[in-house]
Each structure stands twice: as structure tokens, then as C-alpha cells.
Structure 1
Amino acid sequence: MEFHLSNLYLFLCILYFTSTPFMSISAESDTYIIHMDLSVMPKAFSTHQDWYLATLASISNTLETSRKLVPSDKLVYSYTNSINGFSAVLSSSELEAIKNSKGYISCTKDSTVKVDTTHSYKFLGLDSNYGAWPVSNYGEDVIIGLVDTGVWPESKSFNDEGMSDVPSRWRGECESGEQFSSSLCNKKLIGARYFNKGLLAKYPNLVFSMNSARDTDGHGTHTSSTAAGIPVQGASFFGYAPGTATGVAPNSRVAMYKALWDEGSYISDILAAIDQAIADGVDVLSLSFGIDGKALFEDPVAIATFAAMEKSIFVSTSSGNAGPSEETLHNGTPWVLTVAAGTIDREFGGTLMLGNGVSALGSSLYPGKYSSKFIQIVLVGSCDDEKSLKNFRHKIVICVDNGDLSEQVYYVHEAKLPGGIFISNATDLELYMRTSYPALFVSLEEGQKILDYIKNDSNPKARFALRETRLGIKPAPKVATYSSRGPSQSCPFVLKPDIMAPGDLILASWPPNSSVTDVDAHHLFNDFNIISGTSMACPHAAGVAALLKGTHPGWSPAAIRSAMMTSAYNFDNTGNPIKDMGFKDQSASPLAMGAGHVDPNRALDPGLIYDATAQDYINLLCAMNFNSSQIKTITRSSSHNCSFQSLDLNYPSFIAYFKANNTKSNVKEVQEFHRTVTNVGEENSVYIANLTAVNGLKVIVSPDRLEFTKKYEKKRYKLSLEGPKLTNDSLVFGFLTWVQAGGKREVRSPIVATG
């Protein structure tokens, strides 16, 4: 009976909609975007739009007005993909009634927005009018393969409208599976496969939550759309980061290889995925995962990517999230790009409006509903006692960081308070910002405004204003605390990581059935999510590589990596050296950021490149004292040649190890490096060496002037480091920059010396 009555009511609503002219917005009304929890939608409704109309109709009885709410007058849009919810024209009383309806999660007042969402593409300097985007035609026809958790093919990021036919060289497939038919692929998402035989071999009776290439985790959808998603307008995370989301190489093709599962991830499946990607003909591989503590010949990812390199496939990998300690990175493989994570010039947060008119800014990603009224606030202190916090049931508590911020956030949650303000000098707040209750994290400086107000007012009150997105934040970028640091344990003779890319608080596409957070015991769903990690930095770099590959299709993976590294910048937007959040904002070392932050436009035209062949890597393996079978494991060939061995790989960076200082301090040691650079700029060009000081070491470049008379001409030089023995924990660094005489190019390489 309930089903029939609800359908009858909906029919009357629709009938009214077709016969009543649309009313203009009254002076007291505004348009609001309402986020709804689809998991609580009653089964009586066949579509979410029916539910939204009924929700609007049902609140009419709660309004203290003679004018009854007519759903058709109020509904602006019913959203299917961009958010779970709708937009409607509501008065303040109608809005309050909606807030108390079943399924309501949060609302955002409609307003004009700046077209700026993931924003990382703008932070990278990508622009439609100049540079890497127009020159490469946005990475047109470059195929980016991702080994990940799958893909949500219906995401707007993978729409193929206006794209040309799939490149004829593509040999891949779109594999059908559970809730995934081959017809879901298109000219954008050109391939989707899944691999789980290894997982099934381990657990023969395993039942998969989704036995297909469909993404139920979100990670793969996020990374693939970051690398190559098309522009999607109206994207946001519940009002945070509003604007247009786009991948780094929006005209590139996407091929997904699902080998990471909710039920587990096994190397055998990952190997099969990379194997298939090579066979299918991808140009770029993006691998946001890694294996810790393995020698190169024991690391299947290192082995598989060697084969990819031999097929001229560029491989971008994540450095890992085990920072800030040194020697924590994985994927320290010489033939791949190892990417660290950094921040961008954007913050998410809100404002605490105090009763005296003063406001305090803070950080927050709380997406749910909160009171906009003034509420009494109380200074609690450390907020480390759940029992005492419950005494402030109807107040916003002010907590002062006692060294364990996570514990305080937890206790305030358990006390079920209307909100919490956390005063802390912590700079790395990302783990705490996504609270399940209204919360704001403020600095000591902003917190002092709150403390002064409480001290001078006998009845202090405040109210929240959340969902703020602030751009132009300085300083940026910074190395994220969690980003894993070098040197590489698997190959310490090559400086790793190679480069830094945006990885912190990145917005990208997300499966609409995978919750992004919880609020008041409700799962929240959204078509976009904001997450952090070197997993996010890796596809940014893969997208840049696709732009370079599209511009220079004949370049080797080493040449593309070199262009990205030598054109990177190591100064932030204040003109100072990039800082390291993991070490109290000290200047970041190359062990944290590599050569610096990637710059796609400068990488397009690097001037000089450091190239390397498969044999160069084999020479390195031979010099690492790997035996014949170990080298064969990596190269897949028994005919490798170890007649020439060298730890001195032709790489665009330098790392020198000086013996520990256990003898006389005046003993000198010399480390020498030999490099060959190839001119990819003008025929007649001259480059002059410029060196920054490396503390305690004498650095010499010979020759210090390179003259080229033709394009693709090669020149050799030697870099020498001379100095006393270093202690085991010593770390000094500088940079060698080849500056083009009378030109615009600078070719920079980091130099690291340690004990």
C-alpha cells in the first residue's frame, strides 16, 4: 500500500509540474545544492529523482506559512553523476526543513565559482594558450596504462565526445565481467582488463565483491582521471575545490589493468597486468604501488618495468608513503621515474566567527551539516578525557594540542559535541581534516584570537563557516611529510626520488558507489574525492610524460625522464628553496624532492638530455656484482654483456658516498662522475656550467663550457667531488646547472654527498 500511495503522490507532483508556470526566486530565497545519502533511499522509489521530489514535497507540512511547497517549483537539477543530490530554490525556513529530512547530508549555497578545481594542472603551469598543452595537443593519442584497482567507466572524466578514432596501433581489449560490458569502453577509455588468478590461487574459494575491471575502491579511478581525465565542469567535494577538474593529458587515452583488489593484491597478478600492457602497446605506464626491501633482481616490478623500458614505454612510479625517514622509498629502480609528493597552493578550511566580530581561519574538510548559529564555546585544554568532554554536550570545545592530536580528535567525536576547535602548531593536518563532525584546525597565531576572546568575555560564543577553498597559498610547493625519502636501498648509486609532483589533497574522479567519508554514521558518496599520497603524484608525472611523448614521439624513456628532471624547479612561490614539511620546514634535500618540482612547459624544450640505453643499465647491474643468473632474471636474456661495468650511469643527478670519518680529518677523498649530454635544442648553442656550493666539498666540472654545432650532437664532461671523509649521518647537497649562453634554457642536476 505504501508503494502505491507514494507513486500516486509523485504522479500528482509531476502533474502539477506540467501545468504550473515556474515561479521566480523570491527575495528571501536562494539556490542550494543538497547532498543526499543514497544508501537510505526508501525502496518505494524507483529513481533518486523521485525520492528528491518526494523529499521536497514532504517538508511542506513543516512550514509555518500559508504558501505550500510545490516540488516542481523548487527543483532546479537532479544530479546523477557529479554528486548524489539535487539543487533547489529554497527559503531559509524551507532549507531548515530540508536539513531535518531523512537522507540529508549537507548543503552548499549556490554561487559563482572560479574554474579552478583539481587546480594541480594550473599549479603545474598548464595553459590552453601556450606551452605543453597546445604544443602536444593535450597529449593526443598517447596511451597511458595504469595498473590499479580498476576504473569507473561511466565517470564523466572518461567521456570521449569529440575524440578521434582509437590509434590503429592499439592491440588491447575491453574485457567483460561483472557489471562491466565491453561496450563501456570508448575512444577515451580504450582498454580495461582484470587479473586475479594469483589471488584465486592463494584463496580458491574467494568470492570477489566485483569480479571485473570495475573499480570498487576508488584509487584507480582517481589516478587514471588525474593522468588523463577530460575536463569536467561543476566538480567539487561537497563544495570544497569547486570548478573544473581535468587530467594532466586530457587528450591521451586510458587503459586500465585491474590487479589491485579489495580482497588482496598479489605480485603474480601485477606481473600479468604489466605483461599485458606491454603487449597491448601502451606508451606510458603509471604504477602507484611498490614493493619494499627487495633487490632489483627480486623485485618483480623492477623486472617487468625493465622489459617495458626496452619497448620504449615510459614508467612513472610512486616513491611510497613511509616518510619522512630516509631510505624508506620503494621503486628506486634506475629505469623508471620515481615520484615524490608535494603540496600545491590551495587550502581547504573554514572560519570561526567569534561573538566579538573577530574571525579565525582554520583547516577543515568536514562535508556534513553544521549549525550556522552562534553556539557557546568553552576552553577545555587538552581534550584527552572523553568522560569530562561529555559535560559540554551543547558547546563547541576549544582544544589545545598536547602532542597527540589524533587522540583529541577521537575523544571529541566520541563525546558527540556540536563541534571542536583544535589549536595546534602541526603543519601536516591532512590526516585529521576529514572529521565526521564539525571541526576546525587553527594555528597558534589564529588560536590566540580565540583564547583572547574567551578570556575577555563571560559568555563567549562562535559559529562555523565551512567549505572554504583558498588559492594562492604561500609557500608552495612543500614536500609532504609522508612522502618516502631516498637513497634507494635497491640501487643506492642512482639518486632517488627523481622528481616531485602534486600529491597532497588532490581532487579527482571517484566511483559513486564507494563512500568518500562518514558523517553521523552515514556513508557519504560523491563523484569526486580529495585524497593524498605519492599515488596521486605518480599519475601527475605520467600525464606530463604523455605530453612530452606526444611532442617528441622518438624520445626514449630516459630522454623524457631527463627532460622532466633537468627542467624542474627547486624554489617555491615565495622565491625561497622548497621546504620539507617532514623536517620542520627546513630546505628540502634531493633525497626528499629529487631534482625539484616538475614543470611541464620547461620540460617540453630542455635543451640538453641525458640519455641511456638498456646496455647502460646492464653495465650498472654488472658493476653491482649481481651474478649471471640475477642479471638474466632482470634482462630476460642470457646473452648480456658484462665486458664493461660501471656504477656511473648516465643519469641527470649525482650521489656520492664518502667513507665514514674514522681516520684523520684531513684525509681527502675524490669521487668522479662522467656524463654525456645530447643537444636537442638549436644547432649552434653554448652551455656554461654554474655550480652552487656543496658544503665542505670542492666541486669541479671539466670542461665547464660545452659548444654544440648541430642538433643531436653529444658532449662529455666530468664532475669531481673532493673533500674530507664524512660522518655516517652527514648530508650535503648542491646543484650543477648548464646555462645556455644568450638563451633561455637551464639544465639543472642535483648533487648529493653523504657518509
Structure 2
Amino acid sequence: MRPSDTGKPPYVAKIEGIEADSRNNVKVRVRWYYRPEEALGGRRQFHGAKELFLSDHYDVQSAHTIEGKCTVHSFKNYTKLENVGAEDYYCRFEYKAATGGFTPDRVAVYCKCEMPYNPDDLMVQCEGCKDWYHPACVGMTIEEAKKLDHFVCSECGSDDDIKRSQNGFSSSPAADGKAISNLCDYLVVYVAMLEERSVYLVLMEGEPVAFHDPRKLELNSEISQAHAKRLLDSHDQLLQTTLEIGSYRKLYSFKHIVNGFAVHITPSQAEKLKGAPGVKMVERDRGAKLMTTYTPQFLGLPQGVWTQEGGDKNAGEGIVIGFVDTGINPLHPSFANDPLNPFTSNVSHFSGACETGPRFPPSSCNGKIVSARFFSAGAQAVATLTPMDFLSPVDAVGHGSHVASTAAGNAGVPVVTNGFYYGQASGMAPRARIAVYKAVYPTVGTMTDVVAAMDQAIMDGVDILTLSVGPDEPPEDTLTFLSVFDVFMLFAQRAGVFVVQAAGNNGPALSTVVSYSPWAVGVAACSTDRNFPGSLLFGNGQKVGGEGLSAPTFRGGLFLHKLVLAQDAVKANGTFPRSPQCIEECQCPESLDPNVVLGSIVICTFSAGFYNDTSTITSIINTARALGFKGFALVANPNYGDFIAEPVAFSVSGIMIPKVADAQIISHYYEQQIHRDKRGFVTDIRARAAIGEGRVAAFGGRAPLVSRFSSRGPDFIDINKNLADVLKPDILAPGHQIWAAWSPISALDPLLTGYNFALLSGTSMATPHVVGIAALIKQLNPLWTPSTISSALSTTATKYDNYGELVLAEGYDINSFYPSTHFDLGAGLVNPIHAIDPGLVFTSGDHSFHLKINNIIHLLTSCMKCNPEAEFEDYISFLCSLPNINPTTIKIATGQQCNQPLSHPANLNLPSVTISALRGSLKVQRSVKNVGSKPETYLCSVISPNGTIVNLSPTWFAIAPQGTQNIDIQFRVTQARDVFSFGEIVLTGSLNHIVRIPLSILPVSVS
């Protein structure tokens, strides 16, 4: 295939398939061969000129790039060729591009130098030991070797015995070498090849493009482009002078919001980079993990914020949301462009691109989807991607489509699954535009690809950045606030982008959040008041409840069907799997008697296989289909206790009974309706049952409830979980049982393959709710900065449920609840109706600021008295005030000096106060700003946390529009405690604004 650089030799690839896309462009699926110089270790002495490695790197190319046909021979056949033509190559190794490994990893070696055979080299054979030698290794020139008649090596005879009669390479040594040795011993990276390679993120000294010129930023200017090239060249120069060429692979250069790069190297090479001049930080890539039809109504949007913004046909207009995720399903109606309702907003501040590829033609970027890119260098470095990973922005997982449609999907999209209409879906901001940055694949996700996507998204000009992906553990050797990922988010905030991040799915244990930093909003997950109740009805009139989005079994006139326990339906004869997993858990259709289960409702048991992830509901459904079950009931095993059941759309009638008490009711009824012989075998079954309708939603339950899986605070600053003076999570949003778009090509869960919608739970699902609401706030208040939006969301949130009581949180035990604290729900449940008009906000800075991205000037006027750059400086002051912090550490990570550290980390002007170790007394200050259009008077009240007394000054104040007010908060310990206690400050305005400030205090000592 033709390379873009005509000075390079043609690339060689093995054709795996040929197909035409929707526009009849012929595409070729290929598997690349690598030349030795393209592999880790580079070209070595034993590599022949025509040698290639068959790699695990798959790709899709246009047919016009094919230059011609060549032949890649096996090594053995190549050595037998009498005439080697220009199109003849050979391959003796397969090469794993992710690790630099070879298959086979052992090869025959020859000569005193113990080198693998190079067919381009002349060698002579000893008539005694039959080993082959390079002439130079036995003290001869090539010309002398060609004149030999006989040759005996020094070990097989004396010099007097050497006879010369024939040249020494009449046959190939490829088949009969004297020894076997590890191939890695002959590569330039001898030690490195024995080390496990990883991807490392490297931050460099020097300002990135976005901040190198304080006056303005124009990406297309000659100055910016020249600066970007200088940064890229400096990255390459550093690697070339620090590491041996061929022993590393650079994956990305970061030039836009941070200065750095990603590289695939060994730990020892990473240590070398740490000591190199200009390097600030080197961090191992920890990997990236993935963290509605009803939620708009639950949050009051149709009658609230949407009404103020002109209804769902205008809500979010003009806002571009960036989604760093698994891509998007471009064919989904949630992302369709409506020609009857064309976009009227100007999004010229955004400048993206539409990268095409498999299943993602140019038409995918349709106006609703304004940009789509994909980032895969990190993924390809650490794993072998499959054809199902799709090197294009298309979503092969489903997660990215789900997140994007929750935040910004079109309004009024019918949700139909298995032929049943569940209602209409809408995003929070249905008129917002979508910019896609695919960085996570079905096979793998890396932080390298995630931060590369973030870097690009910021410079494309997104207004809001969505991160429902991220690391699932704290950094190993730096502060949580100073990981490369968090530094990227800090500089995104500096660029004026509002960043929203999933809090994590590791609850309900304390300090499990993976959102650490105050400059990104961490979102916790909760339920809504909607559920999908199912039921199993018995012939005696009894009924038990359960879960399962399933059609009833009483269609077609017959109400009740035979109910049979899977253990009582085992085949009487024959050879078949007899394990409890196969039989009790209904995993193996060959184990059950078709005559017994046909047309029956079969009781399967949730036992060991489900707890160790070897049994699946998919296998139950496959068994049911194969044997003709009328339906199935998956019931709890009393030996294991209750299990957690989430409603899943079953393609056959089914129900999950997660409570042991209900399972025992089923067992009691069943045993009364059967007859067993003396051996315990069932001889007669009179048990009858029906599965009720499970697809119709019910409303009115207590909500919200903080979900069990949602990660909890308190926040911490390092891997040892030393506590931080920052509240995490920040906010609570619906993330349990959320209907949203899906990708039918997804193989993430076989139960969802082929579906366009999925009902999912996770903080990944909660995050886009906050993102969409932030878009609505930004639409109404385009000059608000990230911290202003964050403050509006926080101070207007509620910690009370729909019963008017304190929100409850799910505990460790199933069906256990406890009163929530700020470490469960942050400030509370997001309240969009009040967030667009918060009254007061917490901001930073006191001067106007111009930020020009893609030729658009965002003017933050002095009347707002806040700007991203001043907020950034406040965050630096916060970092510099951390306990026992070395200012050099801050300088290394951020490039900023510690000129004005805060007197205490709790003095960062956040809409909350968290003190992780209060000794005696402490005065904390806050500053609020009136963003309303009228003067207002506020009364200040406080609910002091247990063990403390809190005094406020002033106790009331009057504030003009755009005016500011300082508040002194004096804390004093009255009783030491070993756990946090919680309270709040409430500012009640004369115009009905209510501003709540959460307090989370650990009173350590009274003095």
C-alpha cells in the first residue's frame, strides 16, 4: 500500500476482507506487516532486508491505496527460493504491537556470536559439529570463505585439519541450528524486553498553546501554530536524547491546554524520563473505566426551565457539549437532525471535525452531531483491538450513546424495545449540540486516549465537558489533585470549560470517590420515583413481586402454566452436564428434559455461578428459547441470601425474585403441589403459575434514594486516603434505572445486543443529567464561568425527598437505608428550576478577562467580577495551602508559583465548607455575589455540626445587583469526635431565594 510519504517503501498488509460502504466506496480490511525498523528494538543484525513481522494491528483502508500484489513467504520457503524478486518477502515472527512481544519468542541461533540466521549473510558450515559460522567470527573475510573447500571449527579439529574445497553456504542453516535461545536476547532493548511495558503520561515545562500568549488565542494564527510545532519538536527531541531510538513509541503530543506527551515505554525508561531536563511529571496510565424517559419530568424540566427557554424546541440551543466516552450511534433518532425545526443558534465559537471510518460516514455529522473524533493510540499500545472496536467515532459499546442522549438527546423520541412502547425519551437539554470524542473501546480504555480527547475538545471550543469515564483508583505517587487527569481538568477550567465528572461506582464504602478536585463537579447517583414492578402469580391465588421488563405469560387465553423446578426437570438418561450450575441455574439446555419444561414456567436458582460471574441471564434465556419455556423465574437461594436485581428487558417472559422470603413462598407452594417417590423424584406436578406484566412503570415511591453503588466521600488527597478539605461528591442526580439511547452493535452485554435503548444504572448515568442542566443554565447565562455554574447547582440543591424528609441512602445490606450525609449526596439533589436563578453565587477574581478560542472572544465583564483565569489562580492558591505541601510540587504539576497560598485550604471560596481536622477554633471566609436583577436582603442562619459551635458575621446583609458580600464563619470545637458531623448555613432572601452551604466538620480536639 502507498504511504503518504513517497520517500518511504510501500507498506505491506494481509487482506482480511473487502467491502463497500454506504456510498459504494471500496474499503479493505487489512492486517499490517511491520518492518523490523517499525517494531520496538528496531532493525538488528540478524534481520534480513526482506523480513517482515505479521502484527496484531488491524485497520481499514481505501482500496485506492493498494499499489500491487506481493508474496510473503514462510521463512523456510524463502530460504529455498533460487531467485528472490522485488515482491518477495518472508515472515518468521508474529509481532504484538501492544507489548513488543514476538511469537515464537525462541529461535535457533548459530555461530560463536549465537545470532539467529540472516538469509542475506554468507555462512560456512563445520563438517564436524554441523554448526554454521559467520566468516568474520572465525577470522576470515567473505572472499576467503567463498574459496573454502572444507571447514572444521576450532572445537572440532586443529588448524592443520582444515581442508578447503567448497564454498560454505550450500544449504540454509534455518532448520538445524545448534541451540535454542530467547529471541529477546538479540534485541537492542535486552533488559527492556523483559520488563512489562506501559503507557506513561509526561508533563513538560513551558506553556501550552492556549496560555502561551496572555493577550489572545487564535488557533490558526502563525504564532500559535509555530508554538505548537516547537512543543512537538521538543517532545521528540527529549525522547531521542533520553531513550534509545526504536525502544519507545510516542503516542500523542499534548499541545493545547497542557504541554506534554504520552509514550509506550518500560518502568526503567520512565525513571530515565523523570530525571530528564524539562520534564515536570511522569505518571503511569492507570486505565479508564466507564462509570431517560422519565427523569426530565422528575426534575421538573418541562414545566420549569424548558418553559423559560421556549420549550423543548429551544432548550439548550447554542450550547456545545463535549462527550469523552465510547463514541455515538449516529443512526439513533435521539441524535437525528429535525429539518422541521432547524437550529437557529450560532455555534461558530466551536470548530470541530468529522472523522469518518467504519460505520461512521460523513453524513453522521448532521448538525445535531457537530463534530466526531476518535483517539486510539493508547488503546492500541496496550491491547490488541478487534474489528468490533471500530477505529471510528461509532459507538461499539453503547455507553457513549446512553450518556449523550441523557444530556442532549432529542425530545419526544419513542422508546420501543421488544415491540413494547415504554414512553418517550428526552435529553435534559434537547437542543444542545453534541461533539463526540471517542476514547474508550470495547476491548480497553486508557487515560492516554481520554486526556488526548480532552485536550482536543477544549481547543475545539466545547462549552461543557462530560466525563462519565475516568480512573477507578487514586494515583500511585502523587496527590489526587495533581494527577495528569486532574491537571487536565484544571486547565480545562482555566479555558472556561465547565467539567462534570462521575463520582464513581464503588459505594457505599466511605472515601471511594474518584472525583477529587474542586474544579470539576463530581456527581453521585440516586433513584427516581419510577419503578417497573413484576409479579409471579400462583394457582392458589398467592402472588410475589419481582423485577423484569417482560411480557406476561397469560397471553393467548391460557392464564396459568405448569410450574417446575429446574432440578426436577433433569433428563432421566444419557450423558449431559450434571453440575448444579448447569441444572439449578438453567445454564445448559442439554441437561433438562424438553418434554418436562416445554410450555412450562421453570424455576431457576440464583446460586454460586451468578456470584462468581460464570452464570448469566443470557444463558437462561438461551436455554428457555432452545427448550420452549413459557417463562422462567430466577429466585434467590436461601444459602446465599437476597440478591440485587435490576429490571432488564427480556426477550422471553421472565422475572427475578431477589428476596429469600419470596423464594421460600414459591418453594412452599411448589412442594405442596407435587408428588415425589421414595427416591425423591417427582412423579406428578400440579403447580401452576403465571408471570404478570412487568413492563408498565409505576410511580410514587419514595425518592430520591442515594444508590448503593454510588461512591461516597470524604474526599482525600493521596493513595493513603489522608483527608481533604473539599466536599465530594458535589451533587446528586438520577442515575438508577435510566432509559436512554443504545448501540445495537454493542457486545458489552448480550442481553442488550440489537437494542436501540437500554435501562442502565451508574454514576455514568447521573453525570449527563447535571451536564444537560448546566447547558440550560449556560444558555440563559452565557457569561457565567465554571465556578458560577457549579455554585448555582450546589446552593440550590435539596437534601429532602418527595415525602419532605431527609433523603435516605442505600446501605451495604439489601433493602437497608440510613439518613444520608453530605458524603452521600454532596449538596443534595440537583434542582434545575432554582439553579437558573440562584440569587447568590460563590465566585473568584475581580477583573475583566478576554479568552479567545477559535476567533470568538468571550468577554467576562467587570460587572460579573469573576473569570476563569482568576478562578484558576484561586485553585493554585488552594493547592499551595495543602498541609505539608512542597511548593516545588505545585510548580512541577501546574507550572505556577506559590505566591499567595490560602491561610487554610478551607478558605477556597467553594459553595460548601469542609474541615477534615478542626482543632480548637478556625475562622473561614466566604464571598457571595448577587447575580439577580434586584436588591435583596438575606438573613443568615446556621445548623451547627455536632461537637461544634458555628457563628456567622454578619447575621444579615442587604446586597445590590452584582454586589458582593463577605461572610466570616467562626468554628469552635465543643466536643472532640472521631467521625465527621454535618450541618449547613442557610441564607434566606427577601425575594424567596434560599442559598444552602453544606458543612462537613471533623472536630478533632477542643484546643
How far apart, CA to CA, are the structure 1 residues paired with 2:734 and 2:413? Answer: 21
CA shift digits 1:707-732 (9 cap, x unpaired): 213433333231424232222xx232
- Name whichever of 429-438 and 616-625 sits farther off: 429-438
How far apart, CA to CA, are the structure 2 residues paired with 1:355 and 1:188? Answer: 53
| CA 545–411 in structure 1, closer or farther in 2 if over 3 Å, else same | closer
Per the alignment, residue 264 of structure 1 pairs with 444
Deviation at 1:202, TM superposition (A): 4.4
SS in 2 for 1:467: coil
Deviation at 1:344, TM superposition (A): 1.1
Aligned pairs for 1:152-551 within 5 A: 152-161=329-338, 162-164=341-343, 167-202=347-382, 209-238=389-418, 242-291=422-471, 292-294=473-475, 295-296=479-480, 298-366=482-550, 373-377=559-563, 385-386=580-581, 389=584, 394=597, 396=601, 406=611, 410=615, 416=623, 418=629, 419-422=632-635, 426=642, 428-430=644-646, 438-441=654-657, 459-490=686-717, 492-515=724-747, 517-518=749-750, 524-551=753-780
Question: Quick one: percent identity of the two aligned structures?
Answer: 31
Structure 1 position 555 matched with structure 2 position 784 = yes
Q: Which runs of 5+ in 1 are unaligned?
A: 1-45, 47-116, 660-667
Per the alignment, residue 641 of structure 1 pairs with 899
Per the alignment, residue 1001 of structure 2 pairs with 753
How far apart, CA to CA, are the structure 2 residues paired with 1:173 and 1:356? Answer: 64
How far apart, CA to CA, are the structure 1 residues paired with 2:523 and 2:696? Answer: 26
The aligned amino acid for 1:735 is E
Aligned pairs for 1:695-714 within 5 A: 695-714=946-965
Deviation at 1:574, TM superposition (A): 1.8
How far apart, CA to CA, are the structure 2 residues paired with 1:188 and 1:433? Answer: 29
Deviation at 1:527, TM superposition (A): 1.1
Structure 1 position 125 matched with structure 2 position 311 = no
How far apart, CA to CA, are the structure 2 residues paired with 1:380 and 1:365? Answer: 22
CA contact (8 A) 2:553 2:692 kept: no
Deviation at 1:351, TM superposition (A): 2.2
| CA 157–627 in structure 1, closer or farther in 2 if over 3 Å, else same | same
The two structures, once aligned, show a CA RMSD in angstroms of: 3.5
Deviation at 1:682, TM superposition (A): 4.6
The aligned amino acid for 1:309 is Q
How far apart, CA to CA, are the structure 2 residues paired with 1:405 and 1:700? Answer: 54
Deviation at 1:705, TM superposition (A): 1.6
How far apart, CA to CA, are the structure 2 residues paired with 1:244 and 1:131? Answer: 19
CA contact (8 A) 2:547 2:694 kept: no
The aligned amino acid for 1:224 is A
SS in 1 for 2:469: coil
Deviation at 1:747, TM superposition (A): 0.9
Per the alignment, residue 915 of structure 2 pairs with 656
CA contact (8 A) 1:163 1:251 kept: no
Deviation at 1:231, TM superposition (A): 1.6
Deviation at 1:132, TM superposition (A): 4.6
Per the alignment, residue 731 of structure 1 pairs with 980
How far apart, CA to CA, are the structure 2 residues paired with 1:715 and 1:248? Answer: 34
The aligned amino acid for 1:141 is G
Q: Which runs of 5+ in 2 are unaligned?
A: 1-21, 23-291, 570-578, 585-590, 675-685, 718-722, 845-870
SS in 1 for 2:986: strand
- Name whichever of 338-347 and 509-518 sits farther off: 509-518
Deviation at 1:515, TM superposition (A): 4.9
CA contact (8 A) 2:942 2:983 kept: yes
Aligned pairs for 1:559-570 within 5 A: 559-570=788-799
| CA 644–698 in structure 1, closer or farther in 2 if over 3 Å, else same | closer
How far apart, CA to CA, are the structure 2 residues paired with 1:707 and 1:220? Answer: 46
How far apart, CA to CA, are the structure 2 residues paired with 1:403 and 1:732? Answer: 40
How far apart, CA to CA, are the structure 2 residues paired with 1:670 and 1:241? Answer: 60
The aligned amino acid for 2:495 is K
Per the alignment, residue 16 of structure 1 pairs with none
The aligned amino acid for 1:200 is Q
| CA 449–204 in structure 1, closer or farther in 2 if over 3 Å, else same | closer
Structure 1 position 146 matched with structure 2 position 397 = no
CA shift digits 1:303-332 (9 cap, x unpaired): 111111112110000011111111111121
The aligned amino acid for 1:731 is F
- Name whichever of 712-721 and 537-546 sits farther off: 712-721
| CA 731–297 in structure 1, closer or farther in 2 if over 3 Å, else same | closer
The aligned amino acid for 2:633 is G
SS in 2 for 1:244: strand
The aligned amino acid for 1:125 is G
How far apart, CA to CA, are the structure 1 residues paired with 2:671 and 2:811? Answer: 34
- Name whichever of 399-408 and 216-225 sits farther off: 399-408
Deviation at 1:346, TM superposition (A): 1.3
1:627 aligned residue (865, 886, 900): 886
1:672 aligned residue (923, 926, 935): 923
CA contact (8 A) 1:703 1:718 kept: no
How far apart, CA to CA, are the structure 1 residues paired with 2:581 and 2:465? Answer: 48
CA shift digits 1:257-276 (9 cap, x unpaired): 11112232222222221111
Per the alignment, residue 273 of structure 2 pairs with none
| CA 199–516 in structure 1, closer or farther in 2 if over 3 Å, else same | closer
CA contact (8 A) 2:553 2:691 kept: no
| CA 261–233 in structure 1, closer or farther in 2 if over 3 Å, else same | closer
| CA 210–572 in structure 1, closer or farther in 2 if over 3 Å, else same | same
Per the alignment, residue 86 of structure 1 pairs with none
Deviation at 1:300, TM superposition (A): 2.0
CA contact (8 A) 2:481 2:516 kept: no
Deviation at 1:450, TM superposition (A): 5.2
The aligned amino acid for 2:809 is D
Deviation at 1:480, TM superposition (A): 0.8
The aligned amino acid for 2:646 is E
How far apart, CA to CA, are the structure 2 residues paired with 1:247 and 1:118? Answer: 9
Structure 2 length-normalised TM: 0.57
How far apart, CA to CA, are the structure 2 residues paired with 1:333 and 1:454? Answer: 55
1:134 aligned residue (308, 318, 322): 308
Per the alignment, residue 831 of structure 2 pairs with 599
Asked which structure has the greater CA Rg, the reply is 2
Deviation at 1:338, TM superposition (A): 0.3
- Name whichever of 645-654 and 358-367 sits farther off: 358-367
How far apart, CA to CA, are the structure 2 residues paired with 1:261 and 1:413? Answer: 22
CA shift digits 1:327-381 (9 cap, x unpaired): 1111211101000011111112422222234443322135799987523336899
SS in 1 for 2:997: strand
How far apart, CA to CA, are the structure 1 residues paired with 2:463 and 2:737? Answer: 28
| CA 125–471 in structure 1, closer or farther in 2 if over 3 Å, else same | farther
- Name whichever of 484-493 and 151-160 sits farther off: 484-493
- Name whichever of 603-612 and 414-423 sits farther off: 414-423
How far apart, CA to CA, are the structure 2 residues paired with 1:176 and 1:542? Answer: 26
Deviation at 1:610, TM superposition (A): 1.2
CA contact (8 A) 1:174 1:191 kept: yes
The aligned amino acid for 2:403 is T
2:840 aligned residue (593, 605, 608): 608
SS in 1 for 2:697: strand
Deviation at 1:737, TM superposition (A): 1.5
Structure 1 length-normalised TM: 0.75
